[in-house]
Structure 1
């Protein structure tokens, strides 16, 4: 998989994740697992839920590089967990300095609870595109403006509508309507870091999917024969695969740099997160579409599984700012919109 970060502890983390997820080899399941929560505690024992939680709250600080490694491997495995939202909500709960939030956080860190993450609309009642609602027993919903968030502690506190969000079959996603009068308001300093973390981990998830299917397509091109030779021996196929390798490598480097800056608390982190969101959200769907073409007829089958990754990268772009939104954010940060 991806080896941009040479850190020994990150390599060990990836190896442990691949062993737990069963992705040490290229064989992929024909469909995403029906219930990802069955093995979630085993992953939580590896510390994946605490990589962005301060040490005094039971985590290990802000290690965005480790969280990115986890998101990448989960994306490659088509894992159904809403990991980006879990990590972001854990960050919010840890910074809220609230006893109830601390109790929920304890359950999230142990893997016993799943806390979804979303952003409320202006009226404070609806949150669009909340990932993992079907498996969540708590939600953290950020207010549209300011440093506040609403903590919902029971699925009875909200209603979910998933009718228009079934494109990605590897995860669940829904629009959430908060029951009037329910929820606990939290005041969260530096809440923008949680949003940056959320968008960055979605980009890392996309990189995992793109890299996984690129590896598989390269292997296929070396095995599939046409006119008496592997199709990977034809220059047109070689050039397309090399181009895709360069693009995926570029996405990987951008995500890695964004994680480094976010962990360091750099003021430049928001810019790099926006670049990561734009590059993965716009580039990965096109790459996977062409990999589908290069895989021939087998790539179009349900059993081959490439379409699951296609659906996932499209959904990641929707859950984050989407490519256009990421570009707008970058333009605002750089002052390019002042020219108007």
Structure 2
């Protein structure tokens, strides 16, 4: 065997070995985590990820800013630490300074990007402001070590996807990233039966809060008419399932559906959506512009959905914090508890 001294004397070989060592070293993560959130993660406190597209593209200003502030207070009251995710001047952040949250909420230039997995590199390379979707939030949360995420509704299979192939990246992210997503079900504008079928194909656990037989909610509505694969009755049960998946090293997320407070009758919502879909088709609106367009159409017709939207986000934040708290308690011993 060659001695170290002999290898070092053969400079080209030695330099090549050193170069390869540094070339294969993993790059430093560009993710910026706030000091409070990093300390909470280190201390194994319940930390709840929050998306920012509801701020940049979901609700109008200033309701979006007030909703976010209230949601963070609700999480803290429940004993959790809120962790807003976003891209600030191209920097992926978990925990966003208050002044930057205001910039995201105002979106005065209208150029904030709705960031999913495919958009991350572009936004970072160009130093842009971006609101994180469910998919992007899951990515940043997982990078930070956060296991529970509260949101409004998940994306899914759009109506007419059999011809447009319009399917949200949220669904594939759920199959690849082990983060628990607490939501009010798939958004009302989607083809919910196909969305649930897609999640089943991808092996994603879906459960609905309520008695056995409670159907999956449809975001603005309490009952989508689609049977829920599972039901959970308390947050400890959800935490045990999340822990069991983790103990098996399953690299997939889980979906925890919570029926919304102050729901809108499903027939009213679907009539507006049907009309808005026709209009979107005529205007050539498609892809990631579809969801904001349809949600705006619903709000114009039924302004009361704003109350429902805010209410369901805040209710989900409560349930998510309790799940995260139960999960943190279960993990104190460092082993799976049957």
TM-score (norm 2): 0.25
Structure number with the higher helix fraction is 1
TM-score (norm 1): 0.25
